[in-house]
Amino acid sequence: MFDTLSDKLQGVFSGLRGRGKLTESDIDQAMRAIRLSLLEADVSLPVVKQLTSAIGARARGAEVMTSLTPDQQVVKIVNEELANLMGGTTVSLPISPHPPTIVLMAGLQGSGKTTCSAKLARYYQQQGRAPMLVACDVHRPAAAEQLSVLGAQLGVPVHREDGGSDAIGIAQRGIAAAKRSVRDLVIVDTAGRTVVDEAMMSELVGVRDAVHPTAVVLVLDSMTGQSAVEVAEAFQEAVQFDGVILTKLDGDARGGAALSVRAVTGRPIFFVGTGEKIDALEAFHPDRMASRILGMGDVLSLIERAQQNVDVDTAKDLEKKIMGGGLTLEDFLDQLRQIRKMGPIGQLLGMVPGFRNATKGRDLAIDDRQLDRVEAIIQSMTAGERRRPETINGSRRQRIARGSGTSVQEVNQLLAQFKQMRKMMKRIGKGGLPPVLGT
C-alpha cells in the first residue's frame, strides 16, 4: 500500500541527498514534488495545501537549512507532519462501561460495511466479547442474507427480519434481542447511502437516535478520491461519527483518504481492512502508517503479526536444528507454513524496511502460488525423503514431480536451494556469518 507515494518522496529526497546544503529553490522543488505526490495519492486539495505549507515552513527553518544532512531532516519533518495530520496516537473503538456496547456502521454503497461488521464481530470475539450482528440494510437485495452467512461462519448470532422495510424498528428489536441474550457488543449494519440522499440520511439519523450507539463508525473505501472529505463532512454533520474504518487497504490504493479524513473531521481511524479473509482487520497506527508512506517499512506490524501466528516452542526447536545443521525438508515446510499464516507474502515483504527500494523496477517474482508449488513438492515426498533429501535419486524426482504436478526441474531447483540453505545454516551455527549476510 502507498507504494507510489513512498517512491515519489524517496525520489525527491535522493535528489537532495549528497549535495550538502540546500538552497531555497531545492526546497521549492521538494515541496512541488511532495504536493504532486500527495495529490496523486488522492489526498484532498485543501489538506495538501495545509500539509505542504506546514512542511515548507519548517523546511525553510534553521534545522534543515544549516543541517549537514538536509534530506534526512526533510524526511523527518514530512514524517512528523504526516503522523501529526493522521492524529499522532492510536485510538481504539470506545467500549461502553455499561454493556452492551453498540456500534453503528455507516457509509457509502460498496464501501464494505457488511464485511467490516463481520470482521469487527470476529475481532472482538477473539478478545473474549460476545458480539451480535443486526442487519438493518433493508435496501440492497440479500444484504441481510450476506450478514447471516458471515455470522454463521463466525458463530455470531444475527438479528434479521425478512421482508421488513423499517430499519429503525429492526435496529430497536435487534438491540432488545441482544440484551435478552446478554450479548455485550452489538454491531448494527446499515444500508449504503449517498450523502445527497436526504431520505436515506434521515433514516440513518433515525436509527442512531433509536439505538443510542456507543460509537458511530464511518466505513470508508481507501480508494476514494477527492470526494473523501465531502463524504466525511456530510456524515459528520448528519450523525457525528466517532471514527473511521478504512477498507480495502490491501490493494495498491495510495490511501490519501486516510490523511484527509482525520485532518478535516478530527475523527480518528480505528481500524484498517487488509484482505478478503474475515480476520483481515488491523488496528490503525498513524505513526507506523507515516513511516510506511515514507517507505521506511513497518517492522512493528510485522513483528506483531509474527507474534500472533508463530508458535514459540516450534520456533525454539527449529532454532536448535538450524544451529546444528540438522534442518530437514519437514522443518522447512513447517517454517514456510508458519510464515504464510501471517499473510500473503507480498504484503509481508512490503513491511520490510528498504524492500521497496531494493526491488524497485523489478518484477517481484515471489507470489503465493509459487509457494503453493513448493509445498506440493515437499508433500509429494515420503517422510524418509524429507528427512534425508540426499536419497532422492532420478526416479524419485520423477515421481515427486508427477505427484505434485510440477516438473523435475522444479524439484531439482528446490533440492538445490535447500542444500545451499542447509550449508549456510551450518556456518551460521558455527559462528561464521557467510560473507553475503555479513556485509
Partner 1 sequence: MSEDSDDRARWAELFDIALPPIERDQATRRRGLFSRLKDNLTKPRQAISPQLAGIFAPGLITRETWDDLEEALIAADCGMDAAVALVEELRAEAQLGRIVNRDEIASGLTKAVTRQMTPEPPRIPIGADPTVILVVGVNGSGKTTSVGKLAYRLSELGQQVVIGAADTFRAAAIDQLAIWADRSGAQLVRQGPGADPGAVAFDAVASGTARGADVVLIDTAGRLQTQHNLMEELRKVHAVVGKANPDAPHETLLVLDATTGQNGLSQARLFGAAVPLTGVIVTKLDGSAKGGIAVAINRELGIPVKLVGVGEKLEDLQPFDAAAYAEAIFSPTPTG
Q: How far is the CB of 276 from partner 1 (least distance, A)?
A: 8
CB 104 within 8 A of CB 213: yes
Reading phi first (left if > 0) and then psi (alpha if -120 to 50, else beta), residue 221 is in: beta
What are the angstrom distances between the C-alpha of 32 and each of 25, 152, 295? Answer: 10, 51, 19
Q: Angle at which helices 113-126 and 143-154 pack, to 10 degrees?
A: 20
Nearer to partner 1, 278 or 408 (CB): 278
In angstroms, what is the minimal distance from the CB of 102 to partner 1?
23
Pick 71 or 221: Cβ nearer partner 1: 221
CA-CA distance, 82 to 116, in Å (whole number)? 26
Output 252 or 319, the one with its CB closest to partner 1: 252
DSSP conformation letters of 292-360: HHTT---HHHHHHHHHHH--HHHHHHHHHHHHHT---HHHHHHHHHHHHHTS-HHHHHHTSTTHHHHTT
Q: How far is the CB of 141 from partner 1 (least distance, A)?
A: 4
For the CB of residue 373, give the shortest distance to partner 1 in the complex, in Å.
Answer: 13
Residues 256, 282 contacting (CB under 8 angstroms): no
Give the three cell numbers for residue 193.
447511502
Minimum distance from residue 245 beta carbon to partner 1 (Å): 13
Query: Least distance from C-beta 226 to partner 1, angstroms?
Result: 5
Binding residues for partner 1 (CB under 8 A): 36, 39-42, 44-45, 108-112, 139-143, 145-150, 153, 194-197, 221, 223-228, 230-231, 234, 248, 250-254, 256-257, 276, 346, 367-369
Cβ distance 281 to 272 under 8 Å? yes
Q: Based on CB atoms, which residue is closest to partner 1, 95 or 195?
A: 195
Nearer to partner 1, 65 or 195 (CB): 195
Q: Judged by CB, which is closer to partner 1: 248, or 285?
A: 248
Exposure on the CB side of residue 402, measured as CA atoms within 13 A: 6
At which residue does the C-alpha cell 509445498 appear? 375
Q: How far is the CB of 39 from partner 1 (least distance, A)?
A: 6
CB-wise, 277 or 388, nearer to partner 1? 277
